Amino acid sequence: MTEEHAGGEGAPDPHGATDAASFNARLQALKDWSGLTYRELSARAEALGDVLPRSTVANMPARSTVPREELLTSFLRACGVSPGELEDWQTVRKEIAVRGVYAGGTTEPEIAWPAESARASGSVANSSTPDSDPDLDPDLGSDPRSRIRRTLVALVAVTGLVLAAVSVVAALVHDEGGDGPKTVAAALTAPAAGDVRIRVIGSDLCLNERRGGRSGQIHQRECEGADVPLYSLKDLGSGEWRIVSDHPDYGPGCSGIPSGGRIPDAAFEDSECGDPSRVETFRLEPFGTPVTGYRIVPAGSATANSCVTVVGDRTATWAKLAQATCRPDARGQLFGFDRR
């Protein structure tokens, strides 16, 4: 270790961890060994230029999956782990994540992958397709099986496009004297499981983060190029949905509202999934007759009658999204879910 800690010699290490539970238990042991509180760990991470939310790290031992790579790095650096030891932790983490995804671990149903020859030729004979899982390991993007997985999920999304109920917004007409130009809005697409681009009705901008930002704050921007992160919907049943994010730098995560939605204007943000202090499930409620859009309503938010809302200038690129009171006219609170 790089400096003296309350625990003295014998700092816990990752070796011997065979699954997410034992790995996270070793992280908890490392935290205890460091002698630092969660608040002190967060402050130390900030001093090192990292981000380590106190609520996130406090819930880390209870998660059913290993933490994402950048979160683990921030935690280990805050605990004072040396570069060599940090590499050991990351190696073990990746091994567990790979086993969890591809060897029938607890985080993923077992998948019978096609033969190596089928991978090489690009043909896929196996028609069984795993569900999109927000806890998939981000380090697997270059693995051939990961590419096949994405292909299969894309096929499911295309099938969903054919089967899903699609609502079409009536044409928005600007007609002066009956002979003026007519402008037709983009078709409104109802929510369905699979890959989506989330579009703000009224501005026709799409949800996105700022590349390189660490806060996870969700903004609106031009739909062309709105790919940080890529979004998909996961149907949880009973009318509830999870908005899954796949960030090019931070990997898979979930959109949510922090602090259980107790703060009325809390940010709508992307972060790692599974933090019990966040609202990560939503109802996607149709609005209007005929339907003109869908409200994103935090399920179980401590703030009653709340909707995900574009705040500030609703027409401006990079305007932020947050939880706010649902409006009778739903301005800045309606969304469409275009298929990707």
User: Mean per-residue pLDDT for 85-104?
Assistant: 82
Residue 317's Cβ-side half-sphere holds a number of Cα atoms within 13 Å equal to 7
| Tokens linked to 204 | 């026709």
Q: What spatial distance separates the first Cα and last Cα of the chain, rounded to whole Å?
A: 46
Mean pLDDT of the chain: 77
- What's the pLDDT score for residue 147? 44
Least confident stretch, 43-52, 53-62, 184-193: 53-62
226 has pLDDT over 90:
yes
113 exposed, middle or buried (CB, 10 Å; 0-12, 13-18, 19+)? Answer: middle
- The larger pLDDT score, comparing residue 259 to residue 140, is at 259
217 DSSP 8-state letter: B
pLDDT tens for each residue of 97-152: 888 655 444 443 322 323 333 333 333 333 333 333 333 333 334 444 444 444 45
Lowest mean pLDDT segment, chosen from 64-78, 159-173, 207-221, 266-280: 159-173
pLDDT given at position 93: 93
φ, ψ dihedrals at 242, nearest 5°: -115, 135
The DSSP call for residue 182 is: -
CB atoms within 10 A of CB 109: 11
Q: Which helix (H) or strand (E) holds 151?
A: helix 144-163
Q: How confident is the model at residue 272 (pLDDT cuts 50, 70, 90)?
A: confident
Tokens linked to 327: 């409006």
Give me the pLDDT at residue 10, please: 67
Q: What is the pLDDT of residues 280-334, one digit of tens each?
A: 999 999 999 999 999 999 998 988 999 999 999 999 999 999 999 999 999 999 9
Residue 43: predicted pLDDT = 84
pLDDT of 188 over the 80 cut:
yes
Spatial CA neighbour of 245 closest among 157, 143, 138: 138
- Average pLDDT for residues 11-21, to the nearest whole number? 90
